[in-house]
Amino acid sequence: MTDQPNITAASWLMIVTLGFTWGGTFMVQALALETAPPFWVAAGRITFAALITGCVWVGRGARMFTSERRAWGELTAASVLSAAAPFMLLAWGQQYVTSSFTGVSMAAVALIVLPLAHFLLPGERLTLRRAIGFLIGFAGILVLMGPGAFTSSGAGMEPFGRLACLAAAGCYAVSSVLLRRLPPLDPVGLSAATLLIGSVVVVPLALATHGLPPDPGAKGFFLIAILGLFPTAAANLLRIIVARTAGPVFMSLTNYQVPLWSVSLGVIFLGEPLKASLLVALVLILVGVALTQWGALKRLFGGVQKVS
């Protein structure tokens, strides 16, 4: 592997595939929640993905750390925050909010990362441009959480469902900082560890909360298998390929696509309302994210021009 990112037409295809896959996850999960309780949907998804990814990892020699340092405590914390906690929060929250709201709330991940990285990661200082982007994005979140963002479902737990989705975004943000602070790791080993540790946390909580797993029927098994195979196991492996060949800056473009795909699919297939306030929030969040990542985007597109 070279230090210079190798951005090709295949790289663009992979990044669009990831955006579409993760954007459609919330729609599929909304359908899966009709067949099984939320924590068992999360447990089934992550366990299925952990088994697949674990088999691939073992087949590659079961390598994890590439240096002498060991950081299992940090790795465990990052795994819980990047898989177990957000999967459960999203599965629970989606009982009371639309998939469009869930997808757009994921755009807040980069904005939450910004202040965390300023204090915890060298070289990730909060500049004026990033501060302006953060404020614009925060305004988008306020619009998104406002009473006019969606027509109320009438569920008394809807505000808590929205908070659960944003809490999941916070988990992803904190875990991304923790993962970056880890010593050098084998990427497939890291993906397997994240899912395996996450499943160890989610399954007992599902048992304690819902009891023994119910029979979701053929439809439920199919939907949970789809969630485990594509947006969890396969997408994690595809993410590794993109990050190792095209670089993490190129990989960050996925964050811009996910809410767009989520909103579009929710409106088209689930008949969810497309409100003006949702579009305003979406624009504000994406503009905020673009401003915070301006330097990275300039380097990214400069690299694309050189390759082309």
Q: What is the pLDDT of residues 163-199, one digit of tens each?
A: 998 899 889 888 877 877 777 778 788 888 888 988 9
294-297 — which CB contacts under 8 Å span 24+ positions? 294/129, 294/133, 296/249, 296/252, 297/249
Domains: count for the chain: 1
Cα 122 to Cα 130: distance, rounded to the nearest angstrom: 16
The answer to whether residue 179 is domain-embedded is yes
The answer to whether residue 263 is domain-embedded is yes
pLDDT of residue 303: 54
* Range name among 65-69, 71-75, 273-277 with the lowest pLDDT average: 65-69
The answer to whether residue 67 is domain-embedded is yes
- List the structure tokens of 106: 């994921």
101: nearest Cα among 284, 290, 266: 266
In the predicted structure, residue 17 carries a pLDDT above the cut 70: yes
In the predicted structure, residue 19 carries a pLDDT above the cut 80: yes
The answer to whether residue 3 is domain-embedded is no
Domain of 27? 9-307
Phi and psi angles of residue 282, each rounded to the nearest 5 degrees, phi first: -60, -45
137: nearest Cα among 258, 280, 297: 280
pLDDT of residue 250: 63
pLDDT of residue 269: 78
* Range name among 94-98, 207-211, 244-248 with the lowest pLDDT average: 244-248
Query: How many CB atoms lie under 10 A from the CB of residue 69?
Result: 9
In DSSP notation, 256-305 reads HHHHHHHHHHHHHHH-----HHHHHHHHHHHHHHHHHTHHHHHHHHHHHH
In the predicted structure, residue 151 carries a pLDDT above the cut 60: no
The answer to whether residue 98 is domain-embedded is yes
The answer to whether residue 38 is domain-embedded is yes
88: nearest Cα among 163, 50, 45, 38: 38
The answer to whether residue 57 is domain-embedded is yes
pLDDT of residue 1: 46
* Range name among 124-128, 268-272, 304-308 with the lowest pLDDT average: 304-308
The one-letter code for the residue type at 198 is: G
Would you place residue 248 in the very low, low, confident or very high pLDDT band (cuts 50, 70, 90)? low
Mean pLDDT of the chain: 78
* Range name among 91-95, 135-139, 257-261, 302-306 with the lowest pLDDT average: 302-306
Would you place residue 47 in the very low, low, confident or very high pLDDT band (cuts 50, 70, 90)? very high
The answer to whether residue 292 is domain-embedded is yes
- List the structure tokens of 156: 């008394």
